[in-house]
Chains A and B, each alone.
Chain A
Amino acid sequence: MYNEKVLKHFSNPSNQGEIKNADGVGLVGNPTCGDMMRIFISVSKNKKGEEIIKDIKFQTLGCGAAIATSSMLTEMAKGKTIAEAEKIGKLQIAEELGGLPAVKMHCSVLAHEGLGEAIKDYRSKNKKLKK
């Protein structure tokens, strides 16, 4: 069912864990569906003054594809500017993994949503600080 790359990300995921006092946290999915992801991001400014995702971690409860897409998402987003990270397409994570079975494509969508929620959370926290 899964290709070698997916299995690698499943067996040895990147960036699994938690960021205490993260700048942004996104929680997506629900236990009824069986897939849940929490994405943590730390944001800092680079020399150009752009906001970059300095660190990103995930916590996931779900199947092989859920863990693999979480891992791949964090690899794709880490070190990117928020603007660049926002450009990551919802099916692009699956593509980077070399493809997923049709029934598992929703995991790519969920991971994408997770990052979106984390960025949204960061922005709303930032607004509060600015005020």
Chain B
Amino acid sequence: MTFINMIYLDNAATTKIDPKVKKTMEPYFFEFFGNASSLHFGGLKARQAVDEAQAKIADFLRCQAKEVYFTSGATESDNWAILGLTRAFKRQKNDFKPHIIISQIEHDAILAPAKELQREGVEVTFLAVDKNGLVDVKKVSQAIKSNTILVSIMYANNEIGTVQPIKEIGKIIKEENKKRKNKIYFHTDATQAVACLDCNVEKLGVDLLSLSAHKIYGPKGVGILYIKNGTPIEPIMLGGGQQNNKRSGTYNVAGIVGLGRAVELLLNKKVINLEVKKIKQLRDYLVKEIKNKIPRTIVTGDIKNRLPGNASFIFAGAEGESILLMLSNTGIAVSTGSACSSGSLAPSHVLVAMGVKPELAHGSIRVSIGRFNTKKDIDIIIKKLPPIIERLRKMSPLQ
């Protein structure tokens, strides 16, 4: 089985490395393979490469280079933000019971550490979302208490593509912080947003931001956590003391170089704006055609505040994993939020939080269009998907 000539429409899951990124990474596998911490010549070039990548990312986020910390990916960055900041507070004040606010539709990499903190005695508010998966800024404000120390809301949701009002939430927190001694810190998981939305940390008003390389046409296994100067945070990765003792572990030099280059490509606003426009056009075309060709189709998520490449559907009377497998058989890769495809057999927590009934959530399919998709790709899925849905509906005991 090969992946060539197969239509990849699951860019929200991961992306192909951009050829420019691959080229920039290559010297760091065989020529400049040294450990960036080594004091000899082997380490020098590696160290330089790490510094350069760090500078590029700082440029993109409009922050200082030393505020950019490399991790193994967004999962680690999310864990670090949630656990590291909260534990720093707990250590400072022994009898203080901190409170954190997150949304119900956060990625598991935020939900899991938050639940872990609950077990450690921390108060957690899981904010509800509306039927389109949007967080209400007023509800964030209402949830804030005297012991609140952290708010974490994802910039854009991976399943339904809804873009959250991060700037507005940032403003609320800033206002709140003017009237209180215990500052509230604001984190956002920007993983899905980086490729197409503005990530200027000042404008967003965030103290912490996670991002990952493999969602932006870079390699898997590397990401960053932006930590604003002065943010109290403990390390969760202990060891050799790299990155100012904040995150130990040998620098993934080639990966970091790839990440830096992937981010650098995003700095070309003109190119990226055209790319976003193209992706959005393809997505809108797909949605229109699918709604026309397949009866009983529901489009989930906010129509307006949405990632340009994300299209998420529910096809009543057909099950998501089966749709996915049949599409895969025809050479098309997409994703599903169906319970049957999850290890736990629970339907997508995002769809549940939006109020989608379990029986409908089973018929969910996500298409995520990316940099390398063409109109031909979309025409092919428009052609192949309707007969698949028809076939599955015919096979069903419910007619």
A residues neighboring B (CB under 8 Å): 7, 10-11, 13, 16, 27, 31-38, 59-67, 103
A63 contacts B359, C-beta separation under 8 Å: no
From B321, B338, B341, B358, name the one whose CB has the most chain A CB atoms within 10 angstroms. B321
One of A10, A16, A36 near B398 (C-beta < 8 A):
A36
Report how far A10 CA is from B318 CA in the complex, Å: 14
Min CB gap B291→A, angstroms: 22
Task: Tell me the B324-379 residues at the A interface (CB within 8 Å).
Answer: 325-326, 329, 338-341, 343-345, 347, 358-359, 362
Contact assessment for A27 and B322 in the assembled complex, using a CB-CB cutoff below 8 Å: no
Name the one of B345, B347, B395 contacting A59, with C-beta atoms under 8 angstroms.
B395
Question: Chain A: interface secondary structure?
Answer: mixed
User: How many A-B Cβ pairs are below 8 Å?
Assistant: 69
Q: In the complex, what residues of A have CB within 8 A of residue B98's CB?
A: none
Closest 3 CB pairs of A and B: A63-B340, A31-B359, A38-B397
Interchain residue pairs with CB less than 8 A apart (8): A31-B398, A33-B339, A36-B397, A63-B338, A63-B341, A66-B322, A67-B395, A103-B343
B219 in the interface, Cβ–Cβ < 8 Å? no
CB contact between B322 and one of A31, A32, A64, A103 (< 8 Å): that residue: A64
Size category, B interface:
20 to 34
Instruction: Scan residues 211-229 of chain B and give those whose CB is less than 8 A from a CB of chain A.
Output: none
In this assembly, does B317 line the interface, its C-beta being within 8 Å of a C-beta of chain A?
A: yes
Q: Which of B325, B338, B396 contacts A10 (CB under 8 A)?
A: B325
Q: Are A66 and B397 in contact (CB under 8 A)?
A: no
Q: Shortest CB–CB separation between residue B235 and chain A, in angstroms?
A: 35
Q: Are B395 and A32 in contact (CB under 8 A)?
A: no
Q: Which of B373-399 contact A (CB under 8 A)?
A: 392, 395-398
B341 nearest in chain A by CB position? A63
A34 in contact with B397 given A61-B317, A62-B322 (CB within 8 Å)? no
* CB closest residue in chain B, given A106: B345
Q: CB distance A34 to B359 under 8 Å?
A: yes
A62 touches B319 (CB 8 A): yes
Q: How far is the CA of A32 from the CA of B346 in the complex (A)?
A: 10
Closest A residue to B360 using CB positions: A31
Take A61-B317, A61-B398 as given contacts and tell me if A34 and B322 are in contact as well, using a CB distance cutoff of 8 Å: no
Please give, as numbers and ranges, the residues of chain A lying within 8 Å of B398 by CB-CB distance: 31, 36, 61
Chain B residues engaging chain A, CB cutoff 8 angstroms = 317-322, 325-326, 329, 338-341, 343-345, 347, 358-359, 362, 392, 395-398
Q: How far, in whole Å, are A38 and B394 apart by their CA atoms in the complex?
A: 13
B296 vs chain A, min Cβ distance (A): 13
State A37–B344 Cα separation when bound (angstroms): 21
CA distance A19 to B340 in the complex (A): 28
B320 (CB) vs chain A CBs: closest residue: A63
Asked if A59 and B396 sit within 8 Å, CB to CB, the answer is yes
Indicate whether A35 sits within 8 Å of B359 (C-beta atoms), given known contacts A61-B317, A62-B319: no
**Would you call B358 and A66 a contact (CB within 8 A)?**
no
Whether B397 pairs with A63 at a CB distance below 8 angstroms is no
Q: Contact at A16–B395, with CB atoms within 8 Å?
A: yes
Most chain A beta-carbon neighbours within 10 Å: one of B319, B326, B344, B359: B319
User: Chain B: which residue is nearest A65 at the CB level?
Assistant: B340
Q: Smallest Cβ distance from B381 to chain A, in angstroms?
A: 18
| Residue of A with least CB distance to B325 | A64
Which of B325, B329, B347, B397 is the one whose CB lies under 8 Å from A61? B397
Contacts of A36 in B (CB 8 A): 396-398
- Taking CB as reference atom, which chain B residue is nearest A25? B397
Contact of A27 with B397 in the complex, beta carbons under 8 Å: yes
Give the chain A neighbours of B362 by CB distance below 8 A.
31, 34
- Residues in B neighbouring A66, C-beta threshold 8 A: 319, 322, 340
A37 to B340, CA, bound (A): 15
The residue in B317, B318, B345 that gathers the most chain A C-beta atoms within 10 A of its C-beta is: B345
Report the separation of the CA atoms of residues A65 and B340 in the bound assembly, to the nearest whole angstrom. Answer: 9
Instruction: Contact check, A11 vs B340: say whether CB atoms are below 8 A apart.
Output: no
**CB closest residue in chain B, given A70:** B395
Do residues A34 and B395 form an inter-chain contact, with CB atoms below 8 A?
A: no
CB pair A34–B340 under 8 Å, yes or no, is yes
